[in-house]
């Protein structure tokens, strides 16, 4: 898992928001679960006015997660996460994901862009900025463009455990052959299947 760097750095971490009413660019992002093989990925287009908190929700809906674990973003050298008002010094040094819009972080997104989901080892998502889309008309809501492979069950701890279970699934007689079936509560889980239309409906229902 990538090392999370916390603290205040001298570099300016965000561009000031403009006060004019001109449409803002949107971004096409390729989001993949690191170390998945074959790769589990989604491609989305997101308004530049979306905050990191809203992007978190888009990732949850596009992947098929249920938002039941903690999360954080690493953009450039800065860690962003949900924060609460607190008098504790540790809280005050955190960067609130609700306060930073994507267009404010465009430069850093091209340098390093990671999304971590889950406690412990967690699921590490690599976010690649594929395209900056000119604002011919301002995008009002996110769009899921494409993707491959099913979202892993959240009862699995991380990608390494999941890959081991997939290997066992392909090996009849393996001691963990039925484990993935048990972790999905007996559902007919197909790791190779991704339903784009269902993912689009999840996003449409949110926005």
Do the domain assignments include residue 30? Answer: yes
Do the domain assignments include residue 80? Answer: yes
pLDDT at 60: 97
pLDDT at 155: 83
Task: Using a cut of 0.75, tell me whether the model's pTM lies above it.
Answer: yes
pLDDT at 184: 67
Pairing of strands 123-133, 113-117: antiparallel
Do the domain assignments include residue 56? Answer: yes
pLDDT at 9: 41
Do the domain assignments include residue 51? Answer: yes
State CA 65 to chain mean position distance. 10
pLDDT at 133: 94
Do the domain assignments include residue 181? Answer: no
Do the domain assignments include residue 2? Answer: no
CATH number (domain holding residue 56): 3.10.290.30
Pairing of strands 41-47, 143-148: antiparallel
Do the domain assignments include residue 173? Answer: no
Residues of the chain scoring pLDDT < 50 = 1-20, 89, 91-92
Domain that holds residue 110: 26-149+194-206
pLDDT at 51: 97
> pLDDT tens digit string along 61-111?
999 999 999 999 999 999 999 986 555 545 445 799 999 999 999 999 999
State CA 66 to chain mean position distance. 12
Q: Provide the domain count of the chain.
A: 1
Do the domain assignments include residue 164? Answer: no
């Amino acid at each position: 898992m990538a090392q999370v760097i916390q603290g205040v750095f001298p570099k300016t971490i965000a561009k000031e928001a403009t006060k004019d009413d001109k449409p803002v660019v949107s971004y096409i992002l390729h989001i993949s679960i690191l170390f998945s093989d074959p790769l589990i990925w989604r491609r989305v287009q997101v308004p530049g006015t979306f905050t990191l908190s809203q992007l978190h929700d888009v990732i949850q809906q596009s992947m098929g997660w249920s938002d039941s674990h903690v999360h954080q973003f690493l953009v450039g050298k800065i860690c962003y996460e949900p924060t609460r008002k607190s008098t504790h010094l540790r809280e005050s040094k955190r960067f609130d994901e609700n306060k930073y819009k994507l267009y404010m972080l465009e430069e850093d997104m091209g340098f390093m862009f990671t999304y971590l989901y889950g406690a412990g080892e967690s699921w590490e998502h690599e976010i690649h900025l594929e395209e900056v889309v000119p604002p011919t008309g301002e995008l009002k809501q996110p769009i899921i463009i494409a993707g491959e492979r099913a979202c892993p069950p959240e009862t699995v701890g991380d990608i390494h455990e999941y890959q081991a279970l997939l290997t066992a699934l392909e090996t009849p007689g393996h001691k963990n052959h039925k484990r993935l079936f048990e972790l999905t509560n007996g559902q007919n889980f197909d790791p190779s299947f991704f339903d784009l239309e269902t993912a689009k409906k999840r996003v449409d229902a949110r926005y």
